[in-house]
Structure formats: structure tokens, C-alpha cells
Chains A and B, each alone.
Chain A
């Protein structure tokens, strides 16, 4: 059965050969364009970093000052003593990890059912999944909260896990990617006597690594940056996530903008690391390019 899908090592798609052919001036121009675009994109982040090195009342001034001659490094020490940053980071890491794991696992599992197993009522059910994406959360927030209270889940980290882990996004996304896998491949495996679960585990999962990687990144970032969910569900300060902690920090120290920006910078860094690690899965084209037929 494995004969059909010996994954070839990556034949990097199209573009490398183009690069090989592009001449030097073009490449320099390309880098220049990328560099310029990078500056525009990074400007707000630069401002965040800069503000974190100012004193509070220097942050908002007219006109904006783009350099600071006298950086206030102490903000980075102060934030640890003035806030409960360590606990917030811990909670957020925990949530991001558990939610991502569950979302990716249950989402891709369900997606296989939607994409490759034919059964009556499938499309209606799938439409229900997409349909819920189209309803703004603030309109069903209260009924959901009441439901969660009945399940005794509020004010615990598990409420956020429950809230985020079973969303429709992962199912939708993975289904789309599974549909790109040719049915003939699966039929061949079925004829070889492989069960649907075996096909999912031994064919689909290895083939969908880039999709799994992007779902992982997106879920992790969404959980990391979620504000309204933790705001409604987590009340005890020792359960706060980084976003809600930062926001409460803003209302507590409403003029301490420099510290707020310090916190914002620190809150982004772990995500950057995760992204740098995860993005390489989009280059190597791990397995999909090995598909024959």
C-alpha cells in the first residue's frame, strides 16, 4: 500500500529556478522593495519599542518624536515588579499550547470526516460550522457564558480552552487542504485494506504538514492575542492572560503608557519566536510535492 505514496524528497516548487535566472540588479531591486515595505510594516512596532524606552508623559506628544536620546531601560525592570507579568505569561503559554493542540487534533480529525468520508447530512453539518463563523461573538456571548456557568467552567483556564479549542476555523481550514489530496490515492489505500483511521494517520497527516503548521501558528496567535474571551471568563487575577493583564494594567496605571508599551513588546516576543520556528514548514514543501499523479 505504501507503494503509491513514497514521498519524494522535496522538489521545491517553481520559484527557486526563477531566482536562479533573475539577474543581479533585479535581485537588489527586489531586496530594496522588500526592505522599504518592511520599514512601513515595522514602523508601528518600532514605535512600540521606542515608547517602551520613554517616560510615561513623553509617549504621546505633538509632534511625534521618532528617536529618544535618553532611553529609560528601567521600564523593563519595573514591569516585572509592578505587574504580575510572570503569571500572565505562564497562563497564556499554557492556554496557547493546550488550545492549539486540541484545535489541531480535533479539527483535522473532523476535517477528514468532512472531506473524505461520504455520509448523508454531511454538507448541512458543514454549513452549520461555517455559519457559526458568521455570527458576531458579542451577540451570543451572554448565552454562551450562561451555558459555561452551568458547566461549572467559568473562572478557570479550562473555560478558555473549551471556548477556543472547538471552533469552526480549524475544521474548515483542514477540510480545504484535505480536498486537494486526490481521491485515487485514498481509494488505492482502501483497496489495500487500510481503514479510514489508518488513512488519516498515515497518509493525510504527513501530507498536510504545511496546513497543520499554519493552523498551529494561527491558533496559537489567536489564543495569545484573545482579549474578550479571557475578559469575560477569567476573573481571578491569578488566572489572567497577558492581554487581559496588559489591559488592566492600562486602566490601573492609565497614564503609564511607557510601561504599557513595555508590556506590549514583551507580549509579542514569544510569538515571534514561535513564528520563526514554524514558518520553515512553508519552504520545504515537506511531503506534498512527492505526490505522484
Chain B
């Protein structure tokens, strides 16, 4: 077997590799890849979804360059991502470390941490809006109680609506990513910790020398997922602020929905999606390269 000619072995590897992919790939190709691929065509057309699309070349992208609302949505999306990604990463890793123990009641606390993710998003939006209610909400009552004279207006103020949405986004997502981190923590061999302990490493040193490197594939996966999820944030904003007040929380995914389904400019909506896609891709590739370099 080891004497098999190189070319034949490569061919065999390809066949074996493809046979693994096939069951998933057929479904993926037809139902996801082809529709997504069509988007790259529609982005260069004027298309009202019902009829044929008219080729307009780069018109959509030229329009986008002048479209102040697009830039506002892009800026808001970056704002959301810039805070939501590190915050969620930190909180969910912290939770995972905390709850990766044999504590009494750990199952309960894990379930509690996962609760925000499974609670209906409509209920989530309603309750948080109520908590944030500027006049009567408990959040501001608490702030006043600790001595803040002029607490923020949260979702009713253009300056504070994005921080409010980021907080709720983190609160909602932390359990999800905690779960992924927990699974990742199980892949780190216990002997490594034992060895580190024998060497007299402190808890912090063990975290730096064993946990972080051991979690690298997981962290990469989570960071990519979190980045994409943050750039695509939609449901939460839709139900919490619907982009307001004014345009203060309007994000790209919502803008795409508006342009497509509300204003029937599916060609333009596709073009904006392509831009969103490109941003995600660039960030992902950078993460990919950084990850490759670190792990080698």
C-alpha cells in the first residue's frame, strides 16, 4: 500500500475525500451554493424578483458609494461588531471556564447561561426594552439609586441605543458560545495540566500555556462564527429598535431586507449583500492566516 504510485494515491485520496463530502455537499450545493452564487449575478442587475433581471453593470455599486444610508448602516454594523465580538468572546470563555468544573449545581447554572439563547426573541426584546425604559425601567432606577443623576435613555436615545443593543446581543449569545467553548475544553488532554502542575505553574500560567493553545481551533471557529454573526445581526435589532431612533441602529442586514422586500430593489439588495459578504470574507481570511501562523 505504501508503495502505491504517488499519482494513484492522490487520486485515491481525492476519491475518498469526496466520498466523505458528498452526502452533505449535494444538499449544500443545490440549496445553498447555487442560490448564493446567483446573488453574484443579481448584484450587477436591476431586478424586481418577479421578472428577468436587467444587466446594469456597476450601477448598483456606484449608487451605493453615494448612498448615505448605506454608509450609516455600514458604520453602525462595524460599531456593533467592534464591541459585540470581544465582549461576547470574553464573557463566554469566562463562563465556560467557570462552568467546566465538578461543582454542585453546575448543570443548573449551565442551563441558566443557555436560557437567553432559547428564550423567544420577541420576549427578549420586550423584556429588555422594558428594563431599559427610561422613565420607569429598573435599569435606570438602579442607576439613580447608585447616584447617577441623568441616566441614559437607552433604546429611546440615538446615542445609547447601540450600546443597549450590544449589551442584549452579548447577553443573548453568551450561552451559545459558552457551549462551543465547553466542548473545546474537553479536547485538552488532562495530562497537560498535570504536567504543568508538576512543573509548579500557577493557575494563570496554566491558562496561558495549556488552555489557550489547546483551545486554538475552537477559538478560531468561534471567532469566525461570531464575526459573521455580528456582521449579519438582524433579528435582534429588528425586534428591539427596528433601526431607530432615527437611523442610530440601522445595520446592513436590515438595510438589505428593507431594500429587497420593502422597496423591491432586489438587485441593489444583492449588491449590498455582496459587500457584506466581502467584508466578512476579508476578516475571516485574516483570522485564518493569523490562526495558521500561530499554530505553526
Contact = CB atoms under 8 A, between A and B. Distances in A.
A218 interface: yes
Interface string A216-227: 011001001101
A248 interface: no
A11 B39 contact: no
A44 B20 contact: no
A56 interface: no
B33 A135 contact: no
B117 interface: yes
Contacts of B210: 14
B186 to A, nearest CB: 4
A142 B53 CA distance: 14
B114 interface: yes
A18 B206 CA distance: 12
B217 A214 contact: no
A240 interface: no
A177 B203 contact: no
A147 B39 CA distance: 13
B106 interface: yes
B185 interface: yes
Contacts of A203: none
Contact of A113 (B17, B171, B206, B252): B17
B17 A13 contact: no
B28 interface: yes
A173 B180 contact: yes
Contacts of B75: none
Contact of B36 (A17, A132, A177, A288): A132
A218 B177 CA distance: 10
A136 B253 contact: yes
A88 interface: no
A225 B123 CA distance: 13
A128 B257 contact: no
Contacts of A291: 189
B82 interface: no
Contacts of B273: 135-136, 139-140
Nearest to B141: A63
Contact of A138 (B117, B123, B224, B256): B256
Given A136-B234, A166-B27, A275 B188 contact: no
Given A64-B130, A117-B13, A210-B186, A107 B24 contact: yes
Contacts of A196: 16, 20
Given A64-B130, A279-B114, 14 more contacts: A44-B127, A45-B115, A48-B123, A62-B133, A106-B27, A114-B21, A119-B10, A128-B33, A134-B276, A134-B280, A140-B35, A143-B38, A172-B225, A214-B182
27 contacts: A45-B115, A64-B133, A113-B16, A113-B20, A114-B20, A119-B17, A128-B33, A131-B36, A133-B225, A134-B281, A135-B36, A136-B232, A136-B273, A142-B49, A143-B39, A147-B31, A176-B217, A177-B218, A180-B217, A211-B186, A214-B179, A217-B179, A227-B121, A247-B122, A261-B123, A272-B118, A279-B114
4 nearest CB pairs, A to B: A113-B20, A166-B27, A134-B280, A139-B273
Interface of B: 1, 10, 13-14, 16-21, 23-28, 30-36, 38-39, 42, 49, 97-98, 100-103, 105-107, 109-124, 127-128, 130-131, 133, 135-138, 171, 176, 179-180, 182-191, 193-194, 197, 203, 206, 210-211, 214, 217-218, 220-221, 224-225, 228, 231-232, 234-235, 252-253, 256-257, 260-261, 266, 269-270, 272-273, 276-277, 280-281, 284
